[in-house]
Amino acid sequence: MTTVRIPEDWPATEEQARAVQDALRARVILDEPGPPPRTGRVTGVDVAYDDERDVVAAAAVVLDASSLDVVAEATAVGRVSFPYVPGLLAFREIPTVLAALEALPCPPGLVVCDGYGLAHPRRFGLASHLGVLTGLPTIGVAKNPFTFTYDDPDTPRGSTAPLFAGSEEVGRALRTRDGVKPVFVSVGHRVTLDDACAHTLALTPAYRLPETTRRADALCRRALRETHPG
């Protein structure tokens, strides 16, 4: 497990954080297809918080994209690096998530974030932020639609409906189980929306949420318990 320090130049105010988003957003690449689904490796990242101790634990779990077997995993624990502000949550998590990714013994391939990419008020959620900083292809798969609107997809698994900000499509509601509430997929960096949805379906053979997210969620919670028992 890696212990993380907050970078000295990390934003300390909302104004500084938004300026960073504005500067990095122009570097997001939206016209690359990314790796084909079910090929290579795919990595889930997630975080868990202990707000009383001001601590965040991050996990990165690498799966074989074809078999969904675990290839490698790593964790990192650090201080929460930014206050809770809607739309700026990436600044609370990224130093620790980056440390977990850097601790992996192999390249992560596609990175799947439990959150948002383009589907973000400033079009620069965690998946986009992480993609730009690492150069990796990234997607966001969220549990809820944030502030955006959508029509309910058809009942069968694989059905989709656009996720809208006004008239702009920022992602898709994707049904990963027949008749079960959809997940909300958005592009992070260097992946198309069609392929982001295809990856998400490939990662959900048995449950609503991707295996990447399920495994990273369990690992970061365990890391937090082991580091700060009780």
Strands (DSSP E) found in the chain = 2-4, 41-50, 55-64, 70-79, 110-113, 138-142, 160-165, 168-174, 183-189
Q: How far is CA 154 from each of CA 61, 129, 175, rounded to the nearest angstrom?
A: 31, 31, 8
161, β-bridge pairs: 173
Task: Say if domain 33-227 classifies as CATH 3.40.50.970.
Answer: no
- Domains of the chain, residue spans: 33-227
pLDDT tens for 28-78 read 999 999 999 999 999 999 999 998 889 999 999 999 999 999 999 999 999
Do 130 and 228 form a contact (C-beta atoms < 8 A)? Answer: no
Q: Band the pLDDT of 228: cuts 50, 70, 90.
A: low
CB 78 within 8 A of CB 56: yes
pLDDT tens digit sequence for 152-184: 999 999 999 999 999 999 999 999 999 999 999
Find how far residue 111's CA is from the centre of its chain.
Answer: 7
